[in-house]
Amino acid sequence: MDEEYYMFRNEGSDNDILDDDEEASMSSTNPSEIDPFDSVYSNIPDITHILKLAENCKHCKARKFESETNGFCCCNG
């Protein structure tokens, strides 16, 4: 082992080691009930603003939105 290992071996946490309390709480839940992305999706609003669609581009058939300019998708060919 190198010197850095000995310098920093007692700092930080080891994710592989769980306390007995954590192991007990983890074993009582079903693995299918645990959602690893729960914290990621917890702040998504119920209502979102969706832009209204306009007629597709006649040249390239790209989907366009109401406030989009005429040459935005393909510069009209």
Distances (CA, A) of 21 to 3, 31, 35, 38, 75: 34, 17, 20, 21, 62
- Residue 47 in any domain: the answer is no
Domain that holds residue 31: 3-41
pLDDT digits (tens, 9 = 90+) for 42-70: 888 888 888 888 898 888 888 888 888 87
Q: What is the mean pLDDT of residues 70-77?
A: 72
- Residue 73 in any domain: the answer is no
- Residue 76 in any domain: the answer is no
- Residue 22 in any domain: the answer is yes
What is the chain's mean pLDDT, rounded?
Answer: 73
Query: Considering its fold, how many domains does the chain have in total?
Result: 1
- Residue 68 in any domain: the answer is no
What is the Cα–Cα distance from 53 to 50, expressed in whole angstroms?
Answer: 9
Instruction: Name the pTM for this structure.
Output: 0.34
